[in-house]
């Protein structure tokens, strides 16, 4: 793309944000940034140092020193991942994709100073290049002036089925009921957290993916981008 263009995408877990945003980024030839992965890494940093996810002051010095890199998967990393995540040079792309770090990231994201550190890193990435950035506070906290703001959502049942399938494919032995309850707990935690709760901003384009295929969602977003650039 000839000028920096920012697409900010928010939405609850299993709404399809990751897959959709990765495909949109690929089609547009720009960087896909999964900010949720950075909070999962923060939770991993805490665990690696024997800390609870809510011990902010103890987590901060380790997190500030940690080098977190997000990269487009190379030809040797075609294992289903949407993005390659490195923590101090170690590939932790799959290590952080468990329910432990899913819930841990939601817990740790409540910590104001942790968020300040990670939001700054996210904004620094976007200052240099076009991005499709997804998370839970991108449209109003990280990229409030994005060229296109999207809130991607779906019905609770559809999202739980998607999440359950994802975990089974990864070899995790977990029941649908457990996944559904965990997701409901995560939604409640995200919407009620004191700092940057999950919300829909007034100028966001809301897309319900319940009855749409991944390809259909990607296509309508690409069409919207083309329309914006044509104005």
- Domains within the chain, CATH numbers bracketed: 6-36+95-230 (3.40.50.300)
Other C-beta atoms closer than 10 Å to the C-beta of 125 total: 15
- Give residue 44's pLDDT: 97
- Give residue 219's pLDDT: 97
Quick one: which H or E segment has residue 178? Answer: helix 176-192
- Give residue 194's pLDDT: 63
State mean pLDDT over 208-227: 95
pLDDT of residue 170 exceeding 80: no
Of 123, 138, 133, 139, the residue nearest 28 (C-alpha):
133
pLDDT of residue 204 exceeding 70: yes
CA distances from 73 to 21, 187, 206, 229 (A): 14, 29, 29, 28
């Amino acid at each position: 793309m000839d000028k920096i263009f920012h697409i900010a995408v928010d939405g609850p877990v299993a709404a399809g944000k990751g897959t959709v945003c990765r495909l949109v980024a690929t089609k547009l030839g720009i960087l896909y940034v999964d900010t949720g992965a950075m909070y999962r890494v923060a939770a991993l940093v805490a665990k690696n140092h024997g800390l609870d996810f809510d011990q902010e002051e103890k987590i901060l010095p380790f997190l500030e020193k940690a080098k977190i890199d997000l990269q487009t998967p190379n030809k040797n990393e075609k294992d289903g991942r949407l993005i390659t995540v490195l923590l101090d040079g170690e590939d932790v792309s799959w290590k952080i994709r468990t329910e432990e770090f899913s819930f841990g990231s939601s817990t740790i994201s409540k910590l104001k100073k942790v968020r300040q550190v990670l939001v700054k890193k996210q904004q620094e990435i976007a200052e240099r290049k076009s991005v499709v950035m997804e998370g839970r506070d991108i449209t109003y906290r990280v990229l409030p002036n994005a060229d296109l703001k999207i809130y991607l959502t779906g019905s609770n049942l559809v999202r739980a089925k998607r999440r359950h399938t994802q975990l089974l494919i990864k070899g995790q032995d977990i029941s649908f009921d457990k996944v559904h309850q965990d997701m409901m707990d995560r939604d409640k935690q995200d919407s009620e957290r004191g700092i940057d709760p999950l919300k829909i901003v007034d100028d966001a384009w809301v897309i319900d993916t319940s009855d749409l295929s991944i390809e259909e969602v990607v296509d309508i977003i690409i069409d919207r981008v083309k329309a914006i650039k044509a104005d």
